[in-house]
Structure 1
Amino acid sequence: MTHDLNSALVSLDLILDEENARLGMPGFDLVPRELVAAKMRVVGVIEAAQVRLVAARSAGAAAPDAEGCAATAAMLERTMQKLATNAALLERRIALCDDLMGAITDEAKRLSGGRSMVYRATGALSHAEQPTPIAINNSL
């Protein structure tokens, strides 16, 4: 059973390597949907293998050898490092997209003249911004 877990961890490592390489490249490179789907499938296989291992140990099956446990622990450590890198790259990509959408919104407001100023009786100047419709076509 640890063999299934180890082979799934190797598969996840390979997928994370490719995804991290794509996310780390300059410019905007889409991560293929197939890669994301494969990552989700492999994570499901890892979860299923972990459940089977816990069930086997609860049923009184023989504990795996120390060498196998050490190899699995080393693989898990490497995978966790790659997942941390992946999370940081995804956070950076999301932040860049948020900044880009903010800049597009600000420019659309500036160009549409959706801002107005009103003088009040007290002499104060009041600013009002009208919502600017923005449509994003994200079809591939």
Structure 2
Amino acid sequence: MIDRLTDVLDSLLMLMEEETRHLQESPFGAALPELAATKVRLVGQLEQMTAAYGRSTVDWNRSLDEAQRARLEELLARLEPISAANAAALERQIDLSVEMIGAITSEAKRLAGRATSTYGAQGHLSRFDPTMPIAINSSY
């Protein structure tokens, strides 16, 4: 059973490295949705397996032989730096997306020219710039 857990964890680590590489090379690549869906599936399997191990045997991690323990420790030690790099790449991707949507919104406002200015009763100038509806196609 532990071999299946280490296989899933190893697959997750390789997938996260690949996703990070894709995000750094081409942040809006066509492979990203598939990579993300696969990562979600692997994380779900990992959570299900660790929960099942915890229910079936309280100290399942103590029952591992030396080779299994060493392999699991090696994979878990790799998990932190790979996860940190993946999180940084994903954060950069989100920031790029937010900036792009902001630029599109600003350009749409500029092109629409719907901004208005009104003088108030006390001589104050108030400016109204309605938000343009922006629809982004969900495909890459």
Normalised by the shorter chain, which TM-score bucket? 0.7 to 0.9
Which range is displaced more, 120-129 or 65-74? 65-74
How far apart are the structure 2 equivalents of 1:122 and 1:62?
A: 77
Check the 8 A contact 1:23/1:31 in 2, yes or no.
Answer: no
How many residue pairs match? The answer is 140
Q: Which residue of 1 aligns with 2:137?
A: 137
Conserved in 2, the CA contact under 8 Å of 1:114 and 1:131?
no
Rate the CA distance shift 1:60–1:34 in 2: closer, same or farther, 3 A: closer
1:13 is matched with: 13
Match of 1:89 in 2: 89
CA distance in structure 1 between the partners assigned to 2:38 and 2:49 by the alignment: 16
1:69 maps to 2:69: yes
The percent identity for this pair of structures is 36
Name structure 2 gaps, 5 residues minimum.
Answer: none
Which residue is 1:47 aligned to?
47
1:41-82 deviations in Å (ceiling 9; x for gaps)? 222221232123223423889711244223212201212321
Normalised by the length of structure 1, the TM-score is 0.84
Alpha-carbon distance change, 121 to 14 in structure 1, aligned in 2, over 3 angstroms:
same
CA distance in 2, matches of 1:6, 1:53: 13
Deviation at 1:89, TM superposition (A): 0.9
- Residue matched to 1:37: 37
Query: How far is the alpha carbon of 1:105 from its aligned partner?
Result: 0.8
Where 1:58 maps in the other structure, the secondary structure is coil
Deviates more, 1:105-114 or 1:20-29: 20-29
| Alpha-carbon distance in 2 for matches of 1:112, 1:52 | 57
